[in-house]
Chains A and B, each alone.
Chain A
Amino acid sequence: MEQSQVLAPTTPAQRRASSWLRVPGWLKSILRNRKATIGLAILLFFVLVAIFAPVIAPTRDPMRMVGRPHDPPSAEHILGTTRQGQDIFTQLVHGTRVTLVVGFATGTVIILIAIVVGVTAGYLGGWVDDMMSMLMNIVLILPGLPLIIVVAGWLDRPGPLTIVLVLSAISWAWGARVLRAQTLTLRNSDFVLAARVVGEPSWRIIFSEILPNLTSLVVSSWIGAVLYVVLTEAALEFIGLGNPNIVTWGTILYWAQNNAALLTRSWWTFIPPGVCIALLGFSLTLINYGIDEITNPRLRADEGAKE
């Protein structure tokens, strides 16, 4: 590729092809960071499992009874069966889908709200900022989980969509606060002042000067939000506030707990889904540490110890 560029003048199509093939800069710096690479690899694994779920564990319905109840892992059911005789491996594979989709969808809604509120407050300043900051702080201080539990209690077994909406409504404040602070700093930087002096309209300054500089912060807040949603959704389903008929990692745990998995010592019913949630959380955390280290060199562990 390098060679062809030197040897022959390239057509636009070729150039486009080569820029597609070339590893983009941000990916290169992520791949150079060990933590981020491991995190991405685990995440990619789960994404692949979610996409190819029907191939990996073909079934008409993961809730179907296929074996004897509470069978420990065997060649036939590699992760054993539940009290209802459902295959845990099948449930786990299919549960990956809902868990990932709900996690990333909600995380995205949360970060979008956070960007709108945070950047608006930070950029406009004045009374708009005062009002929005107050709103952020109030949403931040109100205990989220108890509120969700109460809402879920009134709703009587809310589906995933309701959980997405409720979680989004109460979880955007942290990201908004972080983005507001950074926007405030950027607003007073020389290049933004220059753009204002030139007479650029506000929306252009926000989209072409401020947002690109918030990218790493947006990405890490986004991943943080996804992590929060995955853990919270699983927790809600675990305590029985989700829809127990939809197979997710959280509902597998709910049924395990409901069927006295601990007392009957059927560890295979609760360890695999728990490990999956923990692994997904682990991968998201690693990615965030990686991004942190890449964008904030002061935090790297290998640099000069103070003695």
Chain B
Amino acid sequence: MRFILRRIAFYAVALFIAISINFLIPRLMTGDPVQLMFARFQGRMTVEALDSLKETFGFVQGPLLEQYITYLRNLSQGNLGLSVAHFPEPVTDVLRIGLAWTLRLIGLATIISFAYGTLLGIMAAWRRGKFVDSVILPITSLLGAFPYFFLAMLVLYAFALGLGWFPLGHAANINIRQDWGSTEYVLSVIHHMMLPAFTIIATSIGGWMLGMRNNMIGVLAEDYITMAQAKGLSNRRIMFSYAARNAILPSITGFAMSLGFVLGGALLTEIVFSYPGMGYILLNAVNTRDYPVMQGTFLFITIAVLAANLLADIGYVFLDPRVRA
């Protein structure tokens, strides 16, 4: 319990820092981007709307501290301002839809990647120098150093344009009404998800595999593995219940830590595939100078990463009795 409380305190500090960075970025820019930002909105919205937008970002008259407090107060009420490109839709609404798409895509791809990567890592360590270790491992590791967006372009070119097996982008066929109850819609969503998910899996699976393999190799040298073998336990049991169970702990930490990276890569995938998740929204916001949405996306993503890390920590407590003490 103390462990979890300590972690929660850590995430609270991290969140606070992220919020502060978000507050500081526009203020650290040379020139006056704030002036620039509001100048762009002139004529596109009413004076009242502009004032409320200024207040959301804490751009009120007064010292920096006062601006900061105004900004925090708005944030604590869940107010991220209004989108400029989709005026007057609140930023939170724009992002909520994007986050749902991103979580579906990344959630699925990451779980598949982690599960298969870990499993392959176990096999590679168990049979050192055999097929999985000497052929699959190097291939997946090299894919990990492959530029995400280039791989995405290549598969798009080959499988969507060339062979025509998959759609060119978007999350679902626009001719089908969005209805999660209809099989047609769900199938279309799955069909649209396959290529982007594949690129995420292909570029991230090597990391899990290599990490698990190297942990396993360390664990396999332990005395209790020799002991288990001496007792005549089946290989399968030793491999999973004795070795993998202990070797997976660092991977769980890595899993949480890497979510930020995975998310970053997935943003690029979304951009190439025009997948309507956070990455696509973020890039559109940058291109249309929709500053409120830009700022909000960073906060949303940070909160998502921190929450995922907290979940991984809770999982860790269940897996490793040592931290429960």
Q: Which chain A residues have a beta carbon within 8 Å of chain B's beta carbons?
A: 134, 137-138, 140-147, 149-155, 227, 231, 234-235, 238-241, 253, 257, 262-263, 265, 267, 270-271, 274, 277-278, 281-282, 284-285, 289, 298-299, 301-307
Q: CB within 8 A of A281: which of B147, B154, B221, B286?
A: B147
Given A134-B10, A274-B147, A305:B154 Cβ within 8 A: no
The answer for the CA separation of A298 and B261 in the assembled complex, in Å, is 28
The answer for the CA separation of A303 and B221 in the assembled complex, in Å, is 13
- Nearest first, the 10 closest Cβ-Cβ pairs linking A and B are A145-B264, A274-B150, A153-B286, A281-B145, A143-B260, A285-B145, A305-B128, A138-B14, A301-B129, A146-B301
Can you report 20 A-B residue pairs in the complex whose CB atoms are below 8 A from each other?
Answer: A141-B257, A143-B298, A146-B264, A146-B267, A146-B278, A150-B298, A153-B294, A154-B25, A154-B26, A154-B291, A235-B147, A238-B149, A253-B149, A267-B157, A278-B145, A278-B150, A301-B134, A304-B128, A305-B129, A306-B126
Report the minimum CB–CB distance from B148 to chain A (whole Å): 7
Q: Is the CB of A298 within 8 A of B295?
A: no
Contacts of A305 in B (CB 8 A): 127-130
Q: B271 contacts the other chain (Cβ, under 8 Å)?
A: yes
Q: CB within 8 A of B150: which of A152, A277, A304?
A: A277
Q: B87 contacts the other chain (Cβ, under 8 Å)?
A: no
- Categorize the interface residue count of chain B: 35 or more
Q: Which chain B residues have a beta carbon within 8 Å of chain A's beta carbons?
A: 10, 13-14, 17-18, 21, 25-26, 29, 33, 126-130, 133-134, 141-142, 144-150, 153-154, 156-157, 161, 214, 217-218, 220-221, 257, 260-261, 263-265, 267-268, 271, 278, 282-283, 285-287, 289, 291, 294-295, 297-298, 301-302, 305-306, 309
The answer for the CA separation of A299 and B13 in the assembled complex, in Å, is 38
Given A143-B301, A155-B29, A235-B147, A301:B128 Cβ within 8 A: yes
Contacts of A137 in B (CB 8 A): 10, 14
Q: Which chain B residue has the least Cβ–Cβ distance from A274?
A: B150
The answer for the CA separation of A155 and B26 in the assembled complex, in Å, is 9
Q: Is the CB of B156 within 8 A of A149?
A: no
Contacts of B263 in A (CB 8 A): 143, 145-146
Given A146-B298, A306-B128, A154:B29 Cβ within 8 A: yes
Q: Taking each of A144, A155, A231, which has the highest tally of chain B beta carbons within 10 Å of its own beta carbon? A: A231
Report the minimum CB–CB distance from A223 to chain B (whole Å): 11
The answer for the CA separation of A134 and B128 in the assembled complex, in Å, is 37
Q: Is the CB of A138 within 8 A of B286?
A: no
Contacts of A239 in B (CB 8 A): 149, 268, 271, 283
Q: CB within 8 A of A149: which of B14, B26, B144, B283?
A: B283
Q: Is the CB of A141 within 8 A of B148?
A: no
Q: CB within 8 A of A150: which of B141, B148, B214, B295?
A: B295
Report the minimum CB–CB distance from B3 to chain A (whole Å): 15
Contacts of B220 in A (CB 8 A): 306
Q: Which chain B residue has the least Cβ–Cβ distance from A307?
A: B127
Q: Is the CB of B302 within 8 A of A143?
A: yes
The answer for the CA separation of A137 and B147 in the assembled complex, in Å, is 26
Contacts of A277 in B (CB 8 A): 147, 150
Given A138-B17, A285-B141, A299:B301 Cβ within 8 A: no
Contacts of B297 in A (CB 8 A): 146, 150
Q: CB within 8 A of A152: which of B126, B154, B286?
A: B286
Report the minimum CB–CB distance from A156 to chain B (whole Å): 8
Other than A153-B294, A278-B147, give 5 A-B pairs with Cβ distance below 8 A.
A141-B309, A143-B301, A146-B301, A253-B149, A278-B150
Given A145-B264, A231-B147, A306-B128, A262:B10 Cβ within 8 A: no
The answer for the CA separation of A152 and B301 in the assembled complex, in Å, is 17
Given A138-B17, A263-B161, A281-B147, A301:B133 Cβ within 8 A: yes
Q: Is the CB of B161 within 8 A of A303?
A: no
Q: CB within 8 A of A141: which of B14, B129, B218?
A: B14
Report the minimum CB–CB distance from B200 to chain A (whole Å): 14
